[in-house]
Amino acid sequence: EVQLVESGGGLVQPGRSLRLSCAASGFTFDDYAMHWVRQAPGKGLEWVSGISRSSSAIAYADFVKGRFTISRDYTKNSLYLQMNSLRIEDTALYYCARDYFPSGPYYYIPDKWGQGTLVVVSS
Amino acid sequence: EIVLTQSPGTLSLSPGERATLSCWASQTISNNYLAWYQQKPGQAPRLLIHGASSRATGIPDRFSGSGSGTDFTLTITRLEPEDFAVYYCLQYERSPRTFGQGTKVEIK
């Protein structure tokens, strides 16, 4: 069974940093691209970032570009999101998601999702 | 980036009725790289449709997707009680990926 478990969320002041982690199990991590998607309280879904199987293709939403960095560790079957210069508007539930298409060279669409980790940016 | 606009914002229907949800793109999605998701309160989203019209694994056939170019539609032929939820479209034609703002299907 595919399992994605996010961690690392919490309360942080504006301008500070936070690192989210996502532990993956139940599938061959190397075979799938991965995504981060967020959802502010009571709001819609926002795609944040995606990373291909080999980490050669990476992209970010404009609203996090230059502040957030996605990465993955194949030895630990884990996905990460380093978030710097956090803003109040970054407050959201952050989901880690596995891509739908195995073995593709790119990142495509989120399919299997974790339950999310809540990030609250407030002074 | 490609902006997706969904309509209506809310759809009030009864179980057994047909639901038609629309998603318009600000630029042509030439490869039909358009997906649909369902999200229920307190749950993660579930992928329903990819490639504009292909059902994801395990999705019942009452869900169907259609459209091309800039106009896409999700149809639920006969609403079941568990189908009342919020639905989002997502384009994967270009980066960054973008979601529509969502359509809530509520019980009338």
Tens-place pLDDT, residues A72-82: 999 999 999 99
Cβ atoms of B27 and B1 closer than 8 Å: no
Interface test with A, best of B95, B98, B103, B104 (most A CBs within 10 A): B95
Tens-place pLDDT, residues A12-28: 999 999 999 999 999 99
How many other C-beta atoms lie within 10 A of the C-beta of residue B78?
11
CB-based burial label for A18 (10 Å; 0-12, 13-18, 19+): buried
How many other C-beta atoms lie within 10 A of the C-beta of residue A13?
10
Question: Which residues of chain B make contact with A95, given a CB cutoff of 8 A?
Answer: 44-45
Q: What is the DSSP string of A6-71?
A: EE--EEE-TT--EEEEEEEESS-GGGEEEEEEEE-TTS-EEEEEEE-TTS--EEE-TTTTTTEEEE
Tens-place pLDDT, residues A1-13: 999 999 999 999 9
Query: Computed over its alpha carbons, how large is the radius of gyration of chain A?
Result: 14
Tens-place pLDDT, residues A111-120: 999 999 999 9
For residue A104, what pLDDT band results from cuts at 50, 70 and 90? confident
CB-based burial label for A77 (10 Å; 0-12, 13-18, 19+): middle
- The amino acid occupying position A106 is Y
Tens-place pLDDT, residues A43-100: 999 999 999 999 999 999 999 999 999 999 999 999 999 999 999 999 999 999 999 9
Distance CA A36, CA B22 (A): 25
Chain B interface includes A1 (CB < 8 A): no
Which residues have C-beta within 8 Å of that of residue B78, sequence separation ≥ 6? B16, B17, B18, B62
pLDDT-flagged residues of chain B (< 50) = none
